[in-house]
Amino acid sequence: MIATIQYNSKKFQIDLSKPLDISMPLSASENNVNAWYLDDPIIDPVKNEDWIGSVEAGASVNFNNIYFNPHAHGTHTECIGHITKEFHSVNKHIKQFFFTAELISVAAEKYMKDTVISKKQIELLLKGNVPEALVIRTMPNTKDKKKRHYSNTNWTYMTEEAVVFIRDKGIKHLLIDLPSIDREHDGGKLLAHKAFWDFNGKQRLDCTITELIYVPNKIEDGRYLLNLQIAPFENDATPSKPVLYKII
């Protein structure tokens, strides 16, 4: 179904029948993506005396508890509350759910013993475009990202300069296929997170970072409409389901 959208005084068309889901599913499995030194997620039926919440076990319904961490076990969206003493809820700070977006693919650069995404790369790939949301696919892009265990792997991260550039351009939502935009072991500096939310300046409360996405190779770089779907958790972060629509 083709829909004509008017957004910020501009009109464009999208095909609502062709959503491009860039989230990762969460499952109770060792093949679930994992980070931050945690065990695998658990999905288990409730057990209450002699009653088990499973149709297979004789109950009339399936009734499961789910134990997981949004930062470690899948696609999640976080707000500034992730790094502040004050409580900030991502559910309260996101008031819109559709954004113009640009998808770029980045092959990280070597920096000492690390690999990083630099300002120069972001600036070159954006080609002067200023979307509301920037979606970053790191290269190489293999399906094992969906089950990778990232703990103690020293993953690629974004330089502070790159994130300052994104912030100063006015980009409000950053999505990436890594557990964090910061270095895994950085001594708690969180330079990229702090830069994105302007932690020491005029804090950007309505801006978000979405991590652990997965963008299949069949989705081409370019311009999209992003539907950023979140679960309504009153927490600094929530599981999320970002969906792209190609602008036609």
Q: How many domains does the chain have?
A: 1
Q: Are 29 and 40 in contact (CB under 8 A)?
A: yes
Q: Domain for residue 215, yes or no?
A: yes
pLDDT at residue 63 above 90? Answer: yes
Tens digits of residue pLDDT in 90-138: 999 999 999 999 999 999 999 999 999 999 999 999 999 999 999 999 9
Rg (the chain; Cα; Å)? 19
| Domain of residue 177, residue span | 2-30+71-246
CATH number at residue 147: 3.50.30.50
Q: Which residues contact 110 (CB under 8 A, 6 or more apart)?
A: none
Tens digits of residue pLDDT in 141-165: 999 999 999 999 999 999 999 999 9
Q: Domain for residue 38, yes or no?
A: no
Q: Domain for residue 95, yes or no?
A: yes
| Least confident among 10-19, 70-79, 187-196 | 10-19
Q: Domain for residue 121, yes or no?
A: yes
Question: What is residue 21's predicted lDDT score, i.e. its pLDDT?
Answer: 98
* Spatial CA neighbour of 81 closest among 202, 208, 167, 186: 208
Q: Domain for residue 41, yes or no?
A: no
Q: Looking at the whole model, is its pTM more than 0.85?
A: yes
Mean pLDDT on 51-67: 97
More confident residue, 8 or 244: 244
Mean pLDDT on 179-185: 98
pLDDT at residue 169 above 70? Answer: yes
Determine what percent of the chain is predicted with pLDDT higher than 70. Answer: 99
Mean pLDDT on 75-91: 98
Question: What is residue 229's predicted lDDT score, i.e. its pLDDT?
Answer: 98
Q: Domain for residue 120, yes or no?
A: yes
Q: Domain for residue 7, yes or no?
A: yes
Helix (H, G, I), strand (E, B) or coil at 143: helix
Q: Domain for residue 187, yes or no?
A: yes
